[in-house]
Amino acid sequence: MRRLRDEKDMSGCAISGIVSEAGVRFSGEAIMESIAVMHERSSGLGGGFAGYGLYPENADDYALHLMFDEPSAPKKVRAYLDRNWVIVREEPIPTAHADNISTPPVLRRCFVQPKPRMRDRLPAETDDDLMVKTALHINRFIDGAFVFSSGKNMGIFKGVGYPEDIGVFFRLDEYEAHLWLAHGRFPTNTTGWWGGAHPFGLLDWAVVHNGEISSYGINRRYLENFGYYCSLHTDTEVVTYLFDLLIRKQALPLEAACRVLAPPFWSEIATMDARARMMARTLRIVYGGALLNGPFSILVGSTDGMVALNDRTKLRPMVAARADDRLYIASEEAAIRAVCPDPETLWHAEGGVPIVGEVKEGAHASLAHTA
Amino acid sequence: MRPWLIQPEFEIERDLDRCIRCQVCVRQCANDAHEYDSEDDVVSAHSIRCVGCHRCATLCPTDAIRIKQAELDFRSHACWTPSVIRNIYKQAESGGILLSGMGNDRPYRNYWDRMVLNAAQVTNPSIDPLREPMELTTFLGRKPDKVEVAPTRGGLALKTVLAPQLELALPIMFSAMSYGSISLNASLALARAAYEEGTFANSGEGGLHKSIYPYADAMIVQVASGRFGVNVDYLNRSAAVEIKIGQGAKPGIGGHLPGEKVDAAVSETRMIPENSDALSPAPHHDIYSIEDLKQLIYAIKEAIRYAKPVCVKIAAVHNVAAIASGCVRAGADIVAIDGFRGGTGAAPTMIRDNVGIPIELALAAVDERLREEGIRNRASIVVAGGMRCSADVVKAIALGADAVYIGSAALIAMGCHMCQKCYTGKCNWGIATQDPYLTKRLNPEVAERRLRNLLRSWGLEIKEMLGGMGVNAIESLRGNREHLRGVGLSDSELRALGIKQAGVGA
Amino acid sequence: MKRVYAKEAYCLGCRLCEIHCIVTHSKSKKIIKAYRTERDHLVPGMHVEDSGSVSFALQCRHCDDAPCIEACIAGAMQRDSRTGAVVCDEDRCVGCWSCIMVCPAGAVRRGRRGKVVSKCDLCAGEETPACVLHCPNEALHYEER
Amino acid sequence: MKNDDYLILGNSTAAVAAIEAIRAVDCATPITLVSRESWHTYSRPLISYLLAGELDEQRMYYRAPDFYRAHKVTPHLGVTATRIDPENRVVMTDRDQALPFARLLIATGGKAIRPPLEGTDAQGVFTFISWDDIRAIDAWIAACAAGGAPPRAVIVGAGLIGLKALEAFRARDLETVVVEREDRVLPLSLDKQGSALVEQAIENAGAEILCGTCVNRILKDDAGRVTGVAIETGRTIPCELVILATGVAPDTTLVQGTSIKTDRGILIDRRCMTSVDGLYAAGDVAQGMDSLSGASRPLPLFPNAFRQGRVAGTNMAGGQAALGGCFPMNAVEVFGLPVISMGLSTASGDGFTVLDRKNPTAPSYRRVVLRDNRVVGAVFIGDIERAGILTGLMRGRVDVSGIAETLLTDDFGLLSLPADYRKHVVQGEGIEV
């Protein structure tokens, strides 16, 4: 089956995210409830979730969420994985009957560890690099197979349908995570392909996004410069890769990475003090191709927490709230109030200013600067 | 002896009912195409001398003059066209090389006109540049792969030191036009306009006249094969240095400024004897290979203490992508590519019209190649050669250019009428001449204002187009070929340009 | 006061200033008609001096100590109190040419129409004198200095 | 009348210029003006045009009808000052008024020189310097015509006044002969070549000129009416009208016997002050420095009168002004031929270099006299355009070596001059050179 038309995906969407900064795991019910409130923002053509802290028993293994819609695909994937990886555990992803969900693909997950001698490994490559290569290879070259997610102790659940139905289908009320992301999709090109739903994941990055990246063409070519191949033609995909490039590969602090994606205007830079100006200027000059232009609100999940970012002119809605140890971020206030009726603080995200929900354990030093 | 086979190319039509015999035309034509007979009180014309520059028609206070293309006076023939026949007559008469000024005038396919731009509808909002910020600021120079930032207790600390950059208020610069090939007034106007509008002008291989020193911060100084006017002060009195390897109008050909144009001021500026011909060799005689180029680049970088970017300008030829890649690897911070429509003060017509490739294709190839090689950020790409309007600029940027050079458009803004007779030194518009009687026709204040207006109006249009596409920074357009579609192009052309067919979605 | 200043370096010597001066001071103020019907007595109020590659347009300087006002026997040469311009009242001028005799700039000429001198009147208070307005190279400036 | 007032004697160019200059500095202190003539201020050089019928009376007036009121001047017209008492600062008039003053300007002008000839007292003999002269002449012509025939006229002297009178008479169709003692017309202004052109113009206009001969006597009949003139050659020219046009001299009658020093005219310094503090003189009555000859002498010229009046007025009002170089200059059109002369226009010989050029086909002539590479005199006849540039060169004592030859060319202009002088002429800023 053709995965997508060979054209860029454009969609309006609902997004929601909840993180316990204390690292306390909670069931998927809350996120399902939150995203369901924004039913009108989806069209039933895609919904999905990401959870972090799902698999404590396999916390050190890469958890691959895979889908297959070709009978021959699983075998090919298995053969490819065998080149570099030891499969520690493999199982179907449990599902349940859900209204409006039909013809799901084959859904499996496997937990893998790198082989001591990985055949495709280059001298400087890390395990993560190889996992990226693996996931991208499967997505690009193995027909009928698609990697939903490839991080550790996390997973992405998504498919064609309204997000609340997808949640039921994947029995998310039975999982616990300290960070949940959800996405309801309103695509303007209609394809009923489960791989095309969101979140999009790579390693432990999971991205949900509402918007239209008008700079997509150059963002994509910019990433190609660094070896990323964008097979899905989605904004979410480039956002994910950009986070991976900037933070994981180039070791930019989160704050600086957000400055790259949604930089201040030159007129603002001109009014900064010398040190800040030099920083902002350098980032803009070097990372022009990474600037995300056009309307967007994105939520990016990672092992360390969640970051929300609006485009620099704030052309898409995004609301945040805090209560107890939790940070809630959603496209609409109602989606927060549905699960947190009485937040301590509630505010609208500012254009270009990231909001960070940092999970205390194992926090990156970088995140400390943005609070 | 009168060249009797040569017929007028233009007809000067004078409406005698409107002619007031004021003789403005007589006084303004450097080619003596108009003549006043005081006995009969009548102005008459010598059409054979007319070059079609429209000076007379423009200045005629009663609009009594019309310059028309001479009627087709040969039996029509698809192969033996009038221009072909005329050229043969001229050569049979002169025994010399046919010369032309300005750029290739043959009707090759213009790919700018086969590419259309995108605009935002519904799924993303277009942006109104009159209400919202719209950023055209462009930096030319070498960029690192990444920026190193270290978190410290006082915040983030920048560890990366950027290579020198040229900061442009908009991605348009004035291309190389030497003092000598154009008048000092024209050079001054270009320098001042660039300076005032936050962009750059290029000295060409003419040295830097003293009166341009105040605008040196807006000057890219050129080092070409003749090395005219080059010394360490010249290199340092600049914003950047450009090594000129080739020129789009005449790839593989050197330059020749006739001695008549080398007056005292030109002589001083070029550092050559007065009245001597200024001959720029075809190649640099110290660059016979890419390693030699690298040596020169680094020799210059040493001379300017690595404080300014070094640009290498090449003509768009068949393997331009590989050559550009070589230039980047040899240390060029900026690669300027000049397409075959690029202008010139003088070039053999056959070369001008038949050598080199269109800049659109060259640009597409170079940008793609540098990206494939992962070295695109190591150098900026500047393209030149037939950039006619802001849409051409936007398309060039979308194809992958960082900025463009405009030459002919700038000259036209100053009054050039594209008569293509620059090489005669008799430019009636005071641009491509050193004759004091003609140079004063170009008031640099007026020319500067017109150039600034041109830059501003193109800037405004670029902002409108950017806003229409839903982006508010030029870097989001740069190399963003998703915003381009081809119309009426073959598959191979689309492939060469790296763009999709119009009608094909994102 | 505002005067017309010439930038010698940018004067083309096209004489459009003279032509438009004539038209502005003609009866019809229409260029073709003026030249056709009044040609024999049209003299510009200003002149282009021209020699080889050097030329410039010269108008009356409207001197502060205008010698032509001193010399005018008919009281015709006067300073316009509104514009500050030195103007010749053509009804009073008798054509004695004393003004021509004393003008150090040579900016006053004999008119062709009888005994009346021809000189710049700054276009009688127009916002911009015709010569300035029509100079194709902005070699003439009308300004306060 | 308070005794800080201004008193001005005279009502012509110098007086008017002084009044305007005073009012430019001091707009309050009263000015009293005393004039022998009863006319509103008028321009003397226009009288020939009036006589010729080229002007109406309205155009004779030098300033607008409200000139005195607008300048807060109390005019006493038709009143003659009879005595000046410099010590007591008072002027007596023929109306027995005593006009006290603090600052006085004597601008009473010149008087026609009457040659010592027999018969100048005859009826029909006139001078030609005032409106009153013209009225009398006009009346005489009318009377003659009423008696049967218009008068025939003889003009004694072919200087400027004589030729303008001649022109007026020809306009009135009077048969006229001019008699000039010197060998040419306009002898003080023109050299022989220049005069020849003017003479040609006069002859073309149908008048007779007799040069190099003197009038011996004016003949009259028993009724005392003029009948003709007898000239040196023995010839008698019958006529009914004689004009004495042998020149003007300062009219110093009023200051004779006072402490105010005179020579041919009242002596003035560069500030136009006489030998008595607070007393000034200007115009044809005064005698100042000729900057070319270096000698003090009367320069009865219209522009001089204006400039002296202005300088005097400014200084009287407490301002600072001084005369620049003065030298003779004249502009005139005779029978359609414009003539301009300036400075030592007739000079030649030792120390002088003369450049001249005569147009072979048109009545046009130019002569430039140089001394020490500086222009000291010039003649323009016919093509007179830009003659003033030479006035400027003379006034500025500009070294013209190197450009002397261009002074004669047709396209001579500012462009021919050194760039910095050119710039200076157009007031420093005009032309950017």
Burial of B132 (0-12, 13-18, 19+ CB in 10 A): middle
The dihedrals phi and psi of A5, each to the nearest 5 degrees, come to -65, 155
- Return the pLDDT at B409: 97
Q: Is the pLDDT of residue D214 over 50?
A: yes
B chain contacts of residue C49, beta-carbon cutoff 8 Å: none
Find chain C residues with C-beta within 8 A of B440's C-beta: 9-12, 53, 137
Pairing mode of beta strands B10-14, B65-69: antiparallel
More confident residue, D428 or D362: D362
What amino acid positions of A are annotated as catalytic residues? 13
Instruction: Report CB contact under 8 Å: B471, A214.
Output: yes
In single-letter form, the type of residue at position A300 comes to V
Interface of A with B in 166-225 (CB under 8 A): 188-189, 211-212, 214-218, 220-222, 224-225
SS3 content of chain D, % helix, strand, coil (to 5): 25, 30, 45
Which of the 8 DSSP states describes residue B162? P
Interface of B with C (CB under 8 A): 17-18, 20-24, 27-28, 58-59, 61-62, 435-437, 440-443, 445-446
Consecutive 10-residue averages of pLDDT for chain B (506 residues): 79 94 94 94 93 95 94 83 91 92 94 96 87 95 94 88 97 96 96 98 94 97 94 96 96 86 90 90 92 96 97 97 97 98 93 96 97 94 97 98 98 96 93 93 96 98 96 95 96 97 87
What are the tens digits of pLDDT across the range D160-182?
Answer: 999 999 999 999 999 999 999 99
- What residues of chain C lie within 8 A of the CB of B441, using their CB? 10, 12, 137
Judged by DSSP in three states, C132 sits in helix
Q: Which chains touch B (3 or more CB pairs under 8 A)?
A: A, C
pLDDT confidence tier of residue D432, bands split at 50, 70 and 90: very low
| SS3 annotation, B222-255 | EECCCCCCCCHHHHHCCCEEEEECCCCCCCCCCE
Rounded to an integer, the average pLDDT of A277-304 is: 94
* Mean pLDDT, rounded, of chain D: 91
Q: In this predicted structure, what is the pLDDT of residue A188?
A: 62
Task: Single out the residue of B262, B59, D423 nearest to residue C12, CA to CA.
Answer: B59
What's the confidence (pLDDT) of residue B71?
Answer: 72
Residues of B in contact with C53 (CB under 8 A): 435-437, 440
Helix, strand or coil for residue B343?
coil
- Tokens at residue A192, please? 């009923």
D35-83 per-position pLDDT tens digit? 999 999 999 999 999 999 989 999 999 999 999 999 999 999 999 999 9
**CATH 3.30.390.30 location in chain D:** 336-425
The full set of domain ranges for chain A reads 11-207+295-370
d(CA D261, CA D245): 28
- Please answer yes or no on whether A253 and B149 come within 8 Å at the CB atom: yes
Task: Output the pLDDT for position D194.
Answer: 95
- ipTM strictly over 0.85? no
Neighbours of C96 (CB within 10 A): 26
pLDDT at D365: 96
Q: Report how far residue D117's alpha carbon sits from residue A110's, in angstroms, rounded to the nearest whole number.
A: 146
Q: Does D303 touch chain C (CB under 8 A)?
A: yes
pLDDT tens, position by position, A132-168: 999 989 998 999 999 999 999 999 999 999 999 999 9
3-state class of B347 per DSSP? strand
Mean pLDDT of C90-102: 91
Give the pLDDT of residue A189. 56
C90 touches chain D (CB under 8 A): no
**Cα(B228)–Cα(B269) distance, integer angstroms:** 8
Cβ atoms of residues B382 and B140 within 8 Å: yes
Q: Over 70: is that where the pLDDT of A49 sits?
A: yes
Residue B475's identity, in one-letter code, is E
Reported as a pLDDT band with limits 50, 70 and 90, residue A120 is confident
What pLDDT is recorded for position C40? 74
Name the pLDDT band for D421 (thresholds 50, 70, 90).
confident
Q: Would the pTM of this model clear 0.90, i.e. be above it?
A: no
What's residue B227's pLDDT? 92
- Do the chains contact at B151 and A365, CB–CB below 8 Å? yes
Spatial contact of A160 and A193, defined as CB atoms under 8 Å apart: yes
C-alpha span between D416 and D406 (Å, rounded): 7
Q: Which of helix, strand or coil describes residue D58? A: helix
Closest CA to B387 of B402, B365, B409, B366: B409
CATH class of the domain at D125-246: alpha beta
Q: Which residue of A has its CA nearest to B503?
A: A7
Strands B484-486 and B115-117: antiparallel
Position D343 pLDDT exceeds 70:
yes
Give the pLDDT mean for D92-101: 92
Contacts of D431 in chain C (CB under 8 A): 5-8, 56, 58
Per the listing, tokens 């360390």 go with: A304
Which pLDDT does position C52 carry in this prediction?
A: 79
The b/e string for B369-398 (b: 16+ C-beta within 10 A; e otherwise) is: bbbeeebbbbbbbbbbbbbeebbbbbbbbb
Residues of chain B with Cβ-Cβ distance to A8 below 8 Å are 482, 505-506
- Taking an 8 Å cut-off on Cβ atoms, the answer to whether D388 and C67 are in contact is yes
Cis link prior to A199 (omega < 30° from 0)? yes
pLDDT score recorded for residue D433: 40
Of the candidates B158, B377, B480, which has its C-beta nearest A218's C-beta? Answer: B480
Domain coordinates in residue numbering, chain C: 2-144
Q: Give the one of B23, B27, B437 whose C-beta lies nearest to C53's C-beta.
A: B437
Res A366 pLDDT > 50: no
Angle ∠(A243,A247,A249) on CA atoms, nearest 5: 105
Q: A347: which strand partners?
A: A320
Distances, alpha carbon C38 to alpha carbons B106, C29, D112, in Å: 50, 11, 44
- Rounded mean pLDDT of chain C? 88
**Rg for chain C, CA atoms, rounded:** 15
* Measured distance CA(B254)–CA(B231) in Å, rounded: 20
The predicted pLDDT at position D324 comes to 82
What is the pLDDT, as a whole number, of residue C114? 59
CATH class of the structural domain B10-96: alpha beta
Distance CA B90, CA B88 (A): 5
Is residue D308 a contact partner of residue D352, using CB atoms and an 8 Å limit? no
With residue B318 as reference, give the H or E element that holds it.
none
Beta bridge partners of A349: none
* HSE toward the beta carbon, residue A28, CA cutoff 13 A: 28
Strand partners, B309: none
CATH 3.30.70.20 fits C2-144, yes or no: yes
**Which residues touch A169 (CB under 8 Å, ≥6 apart)?**
A95, A96, A97, A98, A101, A104, A159, A161
Identify the architecture of domain A11-207+295-370 in CATH.
Answer: 4-Layer Sandwich (3.60)
Residue A39 dihedral angles phi and psi, to the nearest 5°? -50, -40
Which amino acid does the sequence have at B212?
Answer: I
Please say whether the beta carbons of B162 and B143 come within 8 A: yes
The conformational region for residue D231 under phi > 0 = left, psi -120 to 50 = alpha, else beta, is beta
Residue B475 tokens, joined: 């870097």
Where is mean pLDDT largest: A6-20, B199-213, D284-298? Answer: B199-213
Q: A–B contact (≥3 CB pairs within 8 Å)?
A: yes
Phi and psi torsions of D225, nearest 5°: -90, 140
The neighbours of chain A, by the rule of 3 or more Cβ pairs under 8 Å, are B
> Could you tell me the pLDDT band of residue A371, with boundaries at 50, 70 and 90?
very low
Burial (CB count <10 Å: 0-12, 13-18, 19+), residue A43: middle
The better pLDDT of the pair B313, C145 is held by B313
pLDDT of residue C37: 87
What is the token pair recorded at A271?
């009014």
- Same topology, domains B10-96 and B163-483+490-501? Answer is no
Q: What percent of chain A has pLDDT over 70?
A: 92
- Judge whether residue D159 has pLDDT over 80: yes
Q: Provide the 8-state DSSP code for D118.
A: B
Tell me which architecture the domain covering D336-425 has in CATH.
2-Layer Sandwich (3.30)
Helix (H) or strand (E) holding B196: helix B184-197
CATH 3.40.50.720 for domain B163-483+490-501, yes or no, is no
Statement: residue A1 has pLDDT above 80: no
Determine the Cα–Cα distance for residues A207 and A185; give it in Å rounded to an integer: 13
Parallel, antiparallel, or unpaired for β D31-35 and D6-9? parallel
D6-111+249-316, what's its fold? FAD/NAD(P)-binding domain (3.50.50)
3-state helix/strand/coil string of chain A = CCCCCCCCCCEEEEEEEEEECCCCCEECHHHHHHHHHCHHHCCCCCEEEEEECCCHHHCCCEEEEEEECCCCHHHHHHHHHHCCEEEEEEEECCCCCCCCCCCCCEEEEEEEEECCCCCCCCCCCCHHHHHHHHHHHHHHHCCCEEEEECCECEEEEEECCCHHHHHHHCCHHHCEECEEEEEEEEECCCCCCHHHCCCEEECCEEEEEEECCCCHHHHHHHHHHCCCCCCCCCHHHHHHHHHHHHHHHCCCCHHHHHHHHCCCCHHHHHCCCHHHHHHHHHHHHHCHHHCCCCCEEEEEEECCEEEEEECCCCCCCCEEEEECCEEEEECCHHHHHCCCCCCCEEEECCCCCCEEEECCCCCCHHHHHHC
